[in-house]
Amino acid sequence: RVLSLELNKDRDVERIHGSGVNTLDIEPVEGRYMLSGGSDGVIVLYDLENLSRKPSYTCKALFSVGRSHPDVHKFSVETVQWYPHDTGMFTSSSFDKTLKIWDTNTLQPADIFHFEGTVYSHHMSPVATKHCLIAVGTKSPKVQLCDLKSGSSSHILQGHRQEVLAVSWSPRHEYILATGSADGRVKLWDVRRASGCLSTLDQHNGEKSKASSEAANTAHNGRVNGLCYTNDGLHLLTIGTDDRMRLWNSSTGENTLVNYGKVCNESRKGLKFAISCGCNPEFAFVPYGSTIAVYTVFTGELITMLRGHYSTVNCCVFQPHFQELYSGSKDCNILAWIPAPREAVPDDISEKSLPQQHLNPAYEDAWSSSDDEG
Q: Which residue type does 70 have?
A: P
Summarised one tens digit per residue, pLDDT across range 106-125 is 999 999 999 999 999 999 99
pLDDT for 374 equals: 45
Range 90-99 average pLDDT: 97
Domain locations in the chain as residue ranges: 2-339
What's the CATH code, domain 2-339?
2.130.10.10
pLDDT digits (tens, 9 = 90+) for 296-350: 999 999 999 999 999 999 999 999 998 999 999 999 999 999 988 766 555 555 5
Q: Confirm whether pTM is higher than 0.75.
A: yes
Going 252 to 256 to 257 to 259, the CA torsion angle's sign is negative
Provide the β-strand partners of residue 253. none
Which pLDDT tens digit goes with each residue over 12-71? Answer: 999 999 999 999 999 999 999 999 999 999 999 999 998 888 888 999 999 999 999 999
